[in-house]
Amino acid sequence: MKKLAFFLVPLAALIISYRSYGQVPTVKDELAKAQALAKQGNTVEASAVYTDIMGKYPNNRDAVQGWLILNMKRSPTGEEEAIKHLEELEKTYPDNTGIMFFKAFIQAEYNHSDEALATIDKLISIQPDTALNYILKGQLLESVNRDEEALEALNRSTMLDPKNSDAWQIRAGLLLKAKRYDDAILSYDRAIQLVPGQPVFLYNRGCAYCLKGDFENALADLGKAISINPRFKSSAVSDEDYKSLWENEDFKKLTSQ
Protein backbone atom coordinates (compact mmCIF):
# COMPACT_ATOMS: atom_id res chain seq x y z
CA MET A 1 0.00 0.00 0.00
CA LYS A 2 3.04 2.27 -0.13
CA LYS A 3 1.88 5.30 -2.03
CA LEU A 4 3.80 7.32 -4.56
CA ALA A 5 5.90 9.78 -2.62
CA PHE A 6 9.41 11.21 -2.53
CA PHE A 7 10.74 8.75 0.05
CA LEU A 8 14.50 9.16 0.27
CA VAL A 9 14.75 10.67 -3.16
CA PRO A 10 18.17 10.98 -4.82
CA LEU A 11 20.48 13.47 -3.17
CA ALA A 12 20.35 16.04 -5.98
CA ALA A 13 16.55 16.22 -5.81
CA LEU A 14 16.47 16.59 -2.04
CA ILE A 15 19.08 19.32 -2.15
CA ILE A 16 16.75 21.48 -4.24
CA SER A 17 14.12 21.41 -1.50
CA TYR A 18 16.62 21.97 1.31
CA ARG A 19 18.15 25.30 0.33
CA SER A 20 19.42 27.61 3.01
CA TYR A 21 17.41 30.80 3.13
CA GLY A 22 18.16 34.27 4.35
CA GLN A 23 21.82 34.19 3.30
CA VAL A 24 23.67 37.47 3.61
CA PRO A 25 25.38 38.68 0.43
CA THR A 26 28.85 37.67 1.64
CA VAL A 27 27.74 34.03 1.92
CA LYS A 28 26.27 34.17 -1.57
CA ASP A 29 29.50 35.66 -2.88
CA GLU A 30 31.57 32.91 -1.28
CA LEU A 31 29.25 30.22 -2.63
CA ALA A 32 29.46 31.76 -6.10
CA LYS A 33 33.27 31.77 -5.83
CA ALA A 34 33.31 28.07 -4.90
CA GLN A 35 30.94 27.21 -7.73
CA ALA A 36 33.07 29.11 -10.23
CA LEU A 37 36.21 27.32 -9.04
CA ALA A 38 34.44 23.98 -9.34
CA LYS A 39 33.37 24.74 -12.91
CA GLN A 40 36.97 25.58 -13.76
CA GLY A 41 38.06 22.20 -12.42
CA ASN A 42 39.77 23.65 -9.34
CA THR A 43 38.31 21.04 -7.01
CA VAL A 44 40.74 21.49 -4.13
CA GLU A 45 40.30 25.26 -4.05
CA ALA A 46 36.52 24.99 -4.34
CA SER A 47 36.39 22.44 -1.52
CA ALA A 48 38.45 24.76 0.65
CA VAL A 49 36.01 27.63 0.10
CA TYR A 50 33.07 25.36 0.96
CA THR A 51 34.68 24.15 4.19
CA ASP A 52 35.52 27.73 5.12
CA ILE A 53 31.81 28.57 4.78
CA MET A 54 30.93 25.56 6.95
CA GLY A 55 33.09 26.96 9.72
CA LYS A 56 31.74 30.49 9.47
CA TYR A 57 28.07 29.61 8.96
CA PRO A 58 27.19 26.31 10.72
CA ASN A 59 23.57 26.37 9.56
CA ASN A 60 24.40 26.87 5.89
CA ARG A 61 23.50 23.73 3.96
CA ASP A 62 24.45 24.91 0.49
CA ALA A 63 28.15 24.69 1.33
CA VAL A 64 27.74 21.06 2.39
CA GLN A 65 25.76 20.41 -0.78
CA GLY A 66 28.52 21.86 -2.97
CA TRP A 67 31.22 20.02 -1.11
CA LEU A 68 29.39 16.70 -1.48
CA ILE A 69 28.85 17.17 -5.20
CA LEU A 70 32.59 17.71 -5.60
CA ASN A 71 33.75 14.90 -3.34
CA MET A 72 31.12 12.14 -3.39
CA LYS A 73 32.25 9.37 -5.73
CA ARG A 74 29.70 7.70 -8.00
CA SER A 75 30.80 4.12 -7.35
CA PRO A 76 29.47 1.00 -5.58
CA THR A 77 31.10 2.21 -2.36
CA GLY A 78 30.38 5.89 -2.93
CA GLU A 79 27.92 6.18 -0.07
CA GLU A 80 30.31 4.64 2.45
CA GLU A 81 33.03 7.06 1.39
CA ALA A 82 30.59 9.98 1.55
CA ILE A 83 29.59 9.05 5.10
CA LYS A 84 33.26 8.81 6.10
CA HIS A 85 33.94 12.20 4.51
CA LEU A 86 31.01 13.74 6.40
CA GLU A 87 32.14 12.16 9.67
CA GLU A 88 35.58 13.71 9.16
CA LEU A 89 34.00 17.08 8.42
CA GLU A 90 31.84 16.70 11.52
CA LYS A 91 34.97 16.36 13.67
CA THR A 92 36.11 19.76 12.46
CA TYR A 93 32.64 21.35 12.44
CA PRO A 94 30.71 19.47 15.17
CA ASP A 95 27.79 21.89 15.25
CA ASN A 96 27.25 22.17 11.49
CA THR A 97 23.63 21.17 10.93
CA GLY A 98 24.03 20.83 7.17
CA ILE A 99 26.66 18.13 7.65
CA MET A 100 24.37 16.31 10.07
CA PHE A 101 21.39 16.48 7.74
CA PHE A 102 23.18 15.10 4.70
CA LYS A 103 24.94 12.47 6.80
CA ALA A 104 21.55 11.26 8.07
CA PHE A 105 20.12 11.37 4.57
CA ILE A 106 22.90 9.27 3.04
CA GLN A 107 22.86 6.84 5.97
CA ALA A 108 19.12 6.39 5.46
CA GLU A 109 19.34 6.09 1.69
CA TYR A 110 21.74 3.19 2.05
CA ASN A 111 19.84 1.43 4.86
CA HIS A 112 21.98 2.42 7.84
CA SER A 113 18.73 3.10 9.68
CA ASP A 114 19.89 3.04 13.29
CA GLU A 115 22.81 5.35 12.57
CA ALA A 116 20.57 7.66 10.55
CA LEU A 117 18.02 7.93 13.35
CA ALA A 118 20.77 8.72 15.85
CA THR A 119 22.09 11.44 13.55
CA ILE A 120 18.68 12.98 12.90
CA ASP A 121 17.87 12.97 16.63
CA LYS A 122 21.11 14.86 17.27
CA LEU A 123 20.14 17.31 14.53
CA ILE A 124 16.67 17.79 16.01
CA SER A 125 18.19 18.50 19.42
CA ILE A 126 20.01 21.43 17.80
CA GLN A 127 17.21 22.48 15.40
CA PRO A 128 13.96 21.50 17.13
CA ASP A 129 11.88 23.87 15.02
CA THR A 130 12.98 22.84 11.51
CA ALA A 131 10.17 21.01 9.75
CA LEU A 132 12.31 19.13 7.22
CA ASN A 133 14.20 17.38 10.01
CA TYR A 134 10.93 15.79 11.11
CA ILE A 135 10.00 14.83 7.55
CA LEU A 136 13.26 12.92 7.25
CA LYS A 137 12.77 11.35 10.67
CA GLY A 138 9.23 10.30 9.78
CA GLN A 139 10.38 8.67 6.57
CA LEU A 140 13.16 6.86 8.39
CA LEU A 141 10.78 5.56 11.03
CA GLU A 142 8.30 4.42 8.38
CA SER A 143 11.08 2.52 6.59
CA VAL A 144 11.63 0.42 9.73
CA ASN A 145 7.89 -0.08 10.34
CA ARG A 146 7.60 2.30 13.28
CA ASP A 147 4.56 3.97 11.79
CA GLU A 148 3.06 5.50 14.93
CA GLU A 149 6.31 7.29 15.72
CA ALA A 150 6.60 8.27 12.07
CA LEU A 151 3.16 9.86 12.20
CA GLU A 152 4.14 11.81 15.32
CA ALA A 153 7.14 13.19 13.44
CA LEU A 154 5.01 14.17 10.44
CA ASN A 155 2.43 15.79 12.71
CA ARG A 156 5.21 17.88 14.16
CA SER A 157 6.45 18.77 10.69
CA THR A 158 3.06 19.96 9.46
CA MET A 159 2.63 22.03 12.61
CA LEU A 160 5.99 23.72 12.09
CA ASP A 161 5.52 24.27 8.36
CA PRO A 162 1.87 23.94 7.30
CA LYS A 163 2.78 25.08 3.78
CA ASN A 164 4.97 22.06 3.04
CA SER A 165 2.90 19.94 0.67
CA ASP A 166 5.25 16.96 0.85
CA ALA A 167 4.78 16.73 4.61
CA TRP A 168 0.99 16.56 4.21
CA GLN A 169 1.34 13.96 1.45
CA ILE A 170 3.67 11.70 3.45
CA ARG A 171 1.49 12.09 6.54
CA ALA A 172 -1.53 11.09 4.46
CA GLY A 173 0.24 7.94 3.33
CA LEU A 174 0.83 6.91 6.92
CA LEU A 175 -2.82 7.51 7.77
CA LEU A 176 -3.82 5.47 4.74
CA LYS A 177 -1.70 2.54 5.94
CA ALA A 178 -3.47 2.80 9.29
CA LYS A 179 -6.84 2.61 7.46
CA ARG A 180 -7.75 6.06 8.76
CA TYR A 181 -9.23 6.96 5.40
CA ASP A 182 -11.07 10.15 6.33
CA ASP A 183 -7.99 11.56 8.06
CA ALA A 184 -5.84 10.56 5.10
CA ILE A 185 -8.19 12.34 2.69
CA LEU A 186 -8.07 15.50 4.79
CA SER A 187 -4.27 15.39 4.74
CA TYR A 188 -4.25 14.88 0.97
CA ASP A 189 -6.67 17.81 0.74
CA ARG A 190 -4.10 20.05 2.40
CA ALA A 191 -1.36 18.89 0.03
CA ILE A 192 -3.58 19.48 -3.01
CA GLN A 193 -4.62 22.92 -1.79
CA LEU A 194 -0.95 23.84 -1.72
CA VAL A 195 -0.09 22.26 -5.10
CA PRO A 196 -3.38 21.87 -7.02
CA GLY A 197 -1.88 20.37 -10.16
CA GLN A 198 0.27 17.69 -8.54
CA PRO A 199 -0.96 14.39 -10.09
CA VAL A 200 0.71 12.19 -7.46
CA PHE A 201 -1.35 13.83 -4.73
CA LEU A 202 -4.55 13.42 -6.75
CA TYR A 203 -3.80 9.80 -7.57
CA ASN A 204 -3.07 8.97 -3.94
CA ARG A 205 -6.19 10.73 -2.68
CA GLY A 206 -8.11 8.67 -5.22
CA CYS A 207 -6.65 5.56 -3.60
CA ALA A 208 -7.92 6.73 -0.23
CA TYR A 209 -11.39 7.35 -1.63
CA CYS A 210 -11.41 3.93 -3.27
CA LEU A 211 -10.37 2.14 -0.09
CA LYS A 212 -13.07 4.05 1.76
CA GLY A 213 -15.64 2.90 -0.79
CA ASP A 214 -16.28 6.34 -2.27
CA PHE A 215 -15.87 5.23 -5.87
CA GLU A 216 -17.26 8.40 -7.44
CA ASN A 217 -14.59 10.59 -5.89
CA ALA A 218 -11.95 7.94 -6.50
CA LEU A 219 -12.71 7.96 -10.22
CA ALA A 220 -12.79 11.76 -10.27
CA ASP A 221 -9.33 12.05 -8.71
CA LEU A 222 -7.89 9.28 -10.87
CA GLY A 223 -9.29 10.98 -13.96
CA LYS A 224 -7.66 14.28 -12.99
CA ALA A 225 -4.32 12.57 -12.35
CA ILE A 226 -4.44 10.76 -15.70
CA SER A 227 -5.37 13.96 -17.55
CA ILE A 228 -2.19 15.55 -16.18
CA ASN A 229 0.04 12.50 -16.58
CA PRO A 230 -1.22 9.48 -18.57
CA ARG A 231 1.32 7.16 -16.94
CA PHE A 232 -1.12 6.79 -14.05
CA LYS A 233 -3.23 4.57 -16.30
CA SER A 234 -0.75 1.73 -15.98
CA SER A 235 -0.23 2.44 -12.28
CA ALA A 236 -3.94 2.17 -11.45
CA VAL A 237 -4.56 -1.14 -13.22
CA SER A 238 -2.00 -2.88 -11.00
CA ASP A 239 -2.47 -0.88 -7.79
CA GLU A 240 -4.25 -2.97 -5.16
CA ASP A 241 -5.73 0.18 -3.68
CA TYR A 242 -7.81 0.54 -6.85
CA LYS A 243 -8.71 -3.17 -6.99
CA SER A 244 -12.35 -2.54 -6.11
CA LEU A 245 -12.67 -0.56 -9.34
CA TRP A 246 -10.81 -2.87 -11.70
CA GLU A 247 -14.04 -4.26 -13.15
CA ASN A 248 -15.81 -0.90 -13.18
CA GLU A 249 -16.57 0.25 -16.73
CA ASP A 250 -15.72 3.88 -16.03
CA PHE A 251 -12.40 2.77 -14.56
CA LYS A 252 -11.69 0.68 -17.65
CA LYS A 253 -12.40 3.66 -19.90
CA LEU A 254 -10.13 5.91 -17.86
CA THR A 255 -7.25 3.45 -17.91
CA SER A 256 -7.54 2.13 -21.45
CA GLN A 257 -4.32 2.67 -23.40
Q: Is 129 exposed, middle or buried, given 0-12, 13-18 or 19+ CB atoms closer than 10 A?
A: exposed
Domain spanning 11-191: CATH superfamily: Tetratricopeptide repeat domain (1.25.40.10)
Kindly list the domain boundaries of the chain, sorted by start residue.
11-191, 197-257
> 113-126 and 131-143 helices cross at what angle (nearest 10)?
160
The answer on pLDDT for 17 being more than 70 is no
pLDDT tens by residue, 20-73: 545 555 888 899 999 999 889 898 999 999 999 998 888 888 888 888 888 775
Residue 175, phi-psi category: left (phi > 0), alpha (psi -120 to 50), beta (remainder):
alpha
- pTM for this entry: 0.79
pLDDT tens by residue, 93-148: 888 898 898 889 888 888 889 999 999 999 999 999 999 999 999 999 999 999 99
